[in-house]
Amino acid sequence: MTTDLTRLSLADTAKGLKAKDFTSKEVTASYLLAIEKAEALNAFVAVTADQALDMAAQSDVKLQKGEGGALEGVPLGIKDLFATKGVHTQAASHILDGFKPEYESTVTQNLWDDGAVMLGKLNMDEFAMGSSNETSYYGPVINPWRAEGSNADLVPGGSSGGSAAAVAGWLCAGATATDTGGSIRQPAAFTGTVGIKPTYGRASRWGTVAFASSLDQAGPIARTVEDAAIMTTSICGFDPKDSTSVDMAVPDFAAAVERGVKGLTIGVPKEYSMDGMPAEIEKLWQQGLAWLKAEGAIIKDISLPHTKYALPAYYIVAPAEASSNLARFDGVKYGLRVPGKDITDMYELTRAEGFGDEVQRRVMIGTYVLSAGYYDAYYVQAQKVRTLIKRDFENVFSDGVDAILTPATPSAAFGVADQEMKSDPIKMYLNDIFTVTVNMAGLPGIAVPAGKDGQGLPLGLQLIGKPFDEETLFAAARVIEKSHGLDFTPTKWW
Amino acid sequence: MTQLVDTRTPDPKKFIKGATGDWEMVLGLEVHAQVTSESKLFSGSSTEFGQPPNNNVSFVDAAMPGMLPVINEECVRQAVRTGLGLKAQINKRSLFDRKNYFYPDLPQGYQISQFKDPIVGEGKIYLDMGEDGEVEIGVERLHLEQDAGKSIHDQHPNMSFVDLNRSGVALMEIVSKPDLRSADEAKAYINKLRTILRYLGTCDGNMEQGSMRADINVSVRRPGGEFGTRCEIKNVNSVRFAGQAIEYEARRQIDILEDGGTIDQQTRLFDPKLGETRSMRSKEEAHDYRYFPDPDLLPLEFDDAFIEALAKDLPELPDEKRARFITEFGLSSYDASVLVADRESSAYYEAVADGRDGKLAANWVINELFGRLNKEGLNVTDSPISAEQLGGIVELISKGDISGKIAKDVFEIVWTEGGIPAEIVESRGMKQVTDTGAIEKVVDEIIAANPDQVEKAKQNPKLMGWFVGQVMKASQGKANPQAVNEILKAKLGL
């Protein structure tokens, strides 16, 4: 083999397989080898090599006959939050020790139905709670990127840090991820990859371990906008098993990628220009606007006045739902059980040992804000804020804005075990400052690499779209992707 | 919370004598009625009673990670039917909330219930309290919720087992206003509610199988005074126990108050063996359920057409049927109440009364048939005598073919041997003799044979009874008693 098959985009991999340039078994074997050599990244919590090769063999039979789905034979990584039948599914938590579900999540089933091959389960922040992938029971994921001239480990972002690192480090052709407050877009921005959170209700939540049900949404992390579009098409679809799933046809998103932005109105919200925002982020944002303008977009200053309340409100709503969603992990039915002298003691010991610090912190915050006497002051108030945030967006969209451009994150990837972040959880929570509004409003949002900081680390821009208008996001993201002229390939050190 | 309103005028007959004067009890009931449905409220599992432990359990019922609830529309229809049967307000938009608490038989760690916005609002139930007449009891609300599983504590010395067959089964919680003032009224309320639910087919009302259970709120006060502090007696599973529990609890509270004490708001349990209630937990130990809207479920919404379609197919309910029996068949209020107490009895009665003497039919159904069924411990549906057969007997009486006395013999024959009453009467020569010539002949013979008695009877007309007896005896009971009376009167010159 002369070319490294792991370096192909997902689109090219699918094309090459269909053209019989190589087999799925070959691609799969290449990825399995790459994973084996990339232990330093700690991106996978379980590698399903035998299963992957079996699936690849089945795909090859179909491909040989000129059959197969859009992702036939393409090897993917799956975030540990998705239930995969008979395979490690623990949300990277100790409390789900040994849990292997008897069911397959709708999102992953959709991918397998389209022919994709599963390489294994990807590391993540425990129960998707975190912005650095350091809360995983399986240890932190290391970003394939390093600052120029430095050997220091950087975080890949979170919670889908394993997904982002695996995609950036050529350990899979694409990965599933989930986004509750920025968990797809922030790690994508930190790793120079493309990540999209579709509109709430686009992808089924059935079989995905719940963090905050009203905010959680599955999506892909991929190397290119086109790859992300192909995966999004496969992942999404109405699911009667999820009451919040929306019964709407899913377009072929890949067909929208080259649509361009001519005549589109791109909104620039003044509230996203935060005090103390690094100049390079500001510069990147202006650069992005210039690229879009150059391709025929109309740039419009807009206001989303309730933006500043989004993060505090998010950190009430998400923990509130989480505190209830995580109640089922009690040592009674599955996963870890630490015996106690009575049932209450068993609950307490199991949950104290099974949940990490960040999960415990959020369960406690959530329990507190839902308590009698505090519910109205916190939860009800946060829901009102949520309605106002949603209305902010509705107003600008009804004023003719087609999409909104913002930075994806306030900075590039930071160091593993960053002391400042560690000592002050709020600092960590600020990573989501540009992304949470999108979840609160249930809108689609995409992060696309757009530039690099002074140390050569990737920086991303975010595009926010109208409900169910992911197509415009892919088109606009593609314009940025074509404009930056940069190579978002980390230098291999592992 | 809703303001408590006193709708009743204090009735001295219901007062409880205390050492320091009269007391009055105030009762409110929360009845949990299992919805009659094939499958559970949010999953497809069967609701069949009496299955081996953990036979009716889906991934949703066991709260496996990533599982989601989907509303069972039939349960919604059943709740609306019940609301219509209670003449209640139907809420076209209602919400499901999570009630959070830890218990091993509650796999999710929360019960999905309706807290702020129930599916059914205010309604009423009318009780027929005999000589006290009709009493209207307000219904505060009806909401849908999940049942919990069952903990089994007697299988192992220091472990408990959990059976999830009931987990997720749909319950309707029907909450009365604090309008009840005696144990008899509370018992009548439970019975009436059960009758209505059974007519509607929305709950089988089997209290011994746990399909209906009541939480009873008891407080006492000086007649017509301020409402007192209440205690809630949990999970009472028979009408008789309800009566006992209320009497005991009211007396307990009166004793405390008369001793100068105060009532602690408590949750109590009734022990049927000891006939007493005892404290389960105090107000301070009460759970904080941290209710909040379930983010996995959309608001439950339907339109007027949905309600109208259900209203159209509603069966005739006991109150309407009772009124109709009184006007259509001329029944007494009491008889009508007895006959409408359950749907099967009323249907049986209507078949017997169809085209016949309704009052006579009611007498025979209530006195002869129900009396006999009770004695044999049978239900009306198991009656060896069909409505058609009993109707035949009633018809023979009406036509004067048999006397009431002979009819009892015919009833006995049909009960034990079966057969068509008219044929039995014909073939066994039981037909009443109405031929006056034949009766006159017998009368003449008896008068001739008993001259002394004739003389005495002329002095004392009461002795005519003796002659009637002789004639009936001679005719083997077949002589029409009315004809015998008339002929005797004439012949004896009375």
Q: Which residues of A touch B100 (CB under 8 A)?
A: 323-324, 327, 370
3-state secondary structure of B112: strand
The answer to whether A106 and A190 are in contact (CB under 8 A) is no
Q: What is the mean pLDDT of residues B475-490?
A: 81
- Using CA coordinates, name the residue in chain A closest to B44: A241
- Alpha-carbon distance of B252 to B255, in angstroms, equals 5
Q: Are residues B66 and A327, on separate chains, in Cβ contact within 8 Å?
A: no
Q: Describe the strand order of the beta sheet including A174-179 as a list of residue ranges.
A: A44-47, A117-122, A75-79, A174-179, A217-222, A194-197, A445-452, A458-465, A403-407, A265-269, A298-302
With CA atoms as reference, report the closest residue to B197 among B47, B94, B318.
B318
Check pLDDT > 70 for residue B1: no
In a domain, B8, yes or no: no
Instruction: Answer yes or no: A183 catalytic.
Output: yes
Q: Which of A209, A324, A347 sits opposite B66 (nearest CB)?
A: A209
Q: Which residues of A touch B292 (CB under 8 A)?
A: 320-321, 324, 370, 375, 379
Task: Provide Rg for chain A, Cα atoms.
Answer: 21
Q: Are residues B296 and A244, on separate chains, in Cβ contact within 8 Å?
A: yes
Task: Quote the longest CA-to-CA distance of chain B.
Answer: 100
B10 contacts: CB under 8 Å, gap ≥ 6 = B24, B181, B223, B224
Examine the domain organization and report whether B44 and B115 are in the same domain.
Answer: yes
Q: Which residues of B touch A377 (CB under 8 A)?
A: none
Buried/exposed code over B111-133 (b: 16+ C-beta within 10 A; e: otherwise): bbbbbebbbbbbbebebbeeeee
Check pLDDT > 90 for residue B132: no
| Pairs of CB atoms within 8 A across A/B | 102
With CA atoms as reference, report the closest residue to B107 among B60, B71, B154.
B60
Predicted pLDDT at A1: 46
Measure CA A240 to chain center: 24
Q: Are residues B292 and A102, on separate chains, in Cβ contact within 8 Å?
A: no
What angle do the packed helices B464-474 and B436-449 form, to 10 degrees? 120
- Alpha-carbon distance of B367 to B369, in angstroms, equals 6
Q: What CA–CA distances, in Å, run from B101 to A150, A391, B39, B286?
A: 50, 34, 24, 11
Burial zone of A349 (CB within 10 Å; 0-12 exposed, 13-18 middle, 19+ buried): middle
Predicted pLDDT at A176: 98
Distance from CA of A65 to the nearest CA of B (A): 36
Residue B336 CB neighbours (<10 A):
25
Examine the domain organization and report whether B108 and B124 are in the same domain.
Answer: yes
pLDDT in tens, B175-202: 999 999 999 999 999 999 999 999 999 9
**What are the average pLDDT values for consecutive 10-residue runs of chain A, which has 494 residues?**
85 98 98 98 98 98 97 98 98 98 98 98 98 97 97 97 98 98 98 98 98 98 98 98 97 98 98 89 97 98 97 97 98 96 96 98 97 94 98 98 97 90 81 94 98 97 98 98 96 95
Instruction: Answer yes or no: A159 catalytic.
Output: yes
Examine the domain organization and report whether B383 and B485 are in the same domain.
Answer: no
pLDDT in tens, B295-315: 999 999 999 999 999 999 999
Q: Which residues of B touch A210 (CB under 8 A)?
A: 65-66, 296
- Using CA coordinates, name the residue in chain B closest to A210: B66
Q: Which of A183, A204, A234, A245 is catalytic?
A: A183
Q: Which residues of A touch B60 (CB under 8 A)?
A: none
Instruction: Answer yes or no: A150 catalytic.
Output: no
Examine the domain organization and report whether B193 and B321 are in the same domain.
Answer: no
Q: What CA–CA distances, in Å, run from A19 to A16, A60, A63?
A: 5, 12, 9
The strand ranges marked E within A126-189 are 174-179
Examine the domain organization and report whether B86 and B203 are in the same domain.
Answer: yes
- Alpha-carbon distance of B296 to B447, in angstroms, equals 92
3-state secondary structure of B125: strand
In a domain, B9, yes or no: no
Which of B427, B456, B476 is the last residue before a domain boundary? B427
Q: Quickly state the pLDDT bin for B2 (edges 50, 70, 90).
A: low
- Alpha-carbon distance of A427 to A299, in angstroms, equals 32
Distance from CA of A241 to the nearest CA of B (A): 6
Structure tokens at B342: 């359950």
Examine the domain organization and report whether B301 and B325 are in the same domain.
Answer: no
- Using CA coordinates, name the residue in chain A closest to B62: A333
As a whole-number percent, the residues of chain B with pLDDT over 90 amount to 76
B18 contacts: CB under 8 Å, gap ≥ 6 = B254, B258
- Using CA coordinates, name the residue in chain A closest to B158: A342
Query: What is the tally of structural domains in chain B?
Result: 3
Q: What is the mean pLDDT of residues B226-237?
A: 95
- Using CA coordinates, name the residue in chain B closest to A99: B65
Q: What CA–CA distances, in Å, run from B10 to B15, B20, B182, B226, B257?
A: 8, 18, 11, 12, 20
| Element housing A403 (H / E) | strand A403-407
Task: Provide Rg for chain B, Cα atoms.
Answer: 30
Examine the domain organization and report whether B84 and B206 are in the same domain.
Answer: yes
Examine the domain organization and report whether B205 and B322 are in the same domain.
Answer: no
With CA atoms as reference, report the closest residue to A412 among A278, A291, A316, A301.
A278
- Alpha-carbon distance of B358 to B343, in angstroms, equals 17
Examine the domain organization and report whether B298 and B338 are in the same domain.
Answer: no
In a domain, B477, yes or no: yes
A305 contacts: CB under 8 Å, gap ≥ 6 = A271, A392
- Alpha-carbon distance of A164 to A201, in angstroms, equals 23
Which of B396, B427, B458 is the last residue before a domain boundary? B427
The pTM of this model reads 0.91
Examine the domain organization and report whether B56 and B197 are in the same domain.
Answer: yes
Predicted pLDDT at B459: 83
Check pLDDT > 90 for residue B441: no
Check pLDDT > 80 for residue B494: no
A404: β partners: A267, A464
With CA atoms as reference, report the closest residue to A117 among A72, A162, A87.
A72
Number of C-alpha atoms within 13 angstroms, CB side, residue A302?
26
With CA atoms as reference, report the closest residue to A272 among A375, A178, A409, A399.
A409
Which of B408, B427, B446 is the last residue before a domain boundary? B427
- φ, ψ of residue A287 in degrees (nearest 5): -60, -45
Buried/exposed code over A259-286 (b: 16+ C-beta within 10 A; e: otherwise): ebbeebbbbbbebbebeebbebbeebbe
Distance from CA of B270 to the nearest CA of A (A): 24
Structure tokens at A243: 């009451």
Check pLDDT > 90 for residue B283: no
Q: Are residues B63 and A328, on separate chains, in Cβ contact within 8 Å?
A: yes
Q: Which of B68, B71, B98 sits opposite A324 (nearest CB)?
A: B98
Name the residue range of residue B365's domain: 316-427
Predicted pLDDT at B446: 87
- Alpha-carbon distance of B392 to B419, in angstroms, equals 10
| Element housing A448 (H / E) | strand A445-452
Q: Are residues B66 and A205, on separate chains, in Cβ contact within 8 Å?
A: yes
Distance from CA of B109 to the nearest CA of A (A): 5
The answer to whether A122 and A44 are in contact (CB under 8 A) is yes
Peptide bond between residue B282 and the one before it cis (omega within 30 degrees of 0): no
Examine the domain organization and report whether B39 and B164 are in the same domain.
Answer: yes
Check pLDDT > 60 for residue B12: yes
Buried/exposed code over A135-158 (b: 16+ C-beta within 10 A; e: otherwise): bbbbebbbbbbbbeeeeebbbbbb
Examine the domain organization and report whether B93 and B38 are in the same domain.
Answer: yes
The CATH architecture of the domain made up of A5-258+444-484 is Alpha-Beta Complex (3.90)
Q: Are residues B70 and A243, on separate chains, in Cβ contact within 8 Å?
A: yes
Q: What is the mean pLDDT of residues B270-274?
A: 94
- Alpha-carbon distance of B218 to A13, in angstroms, equals 73
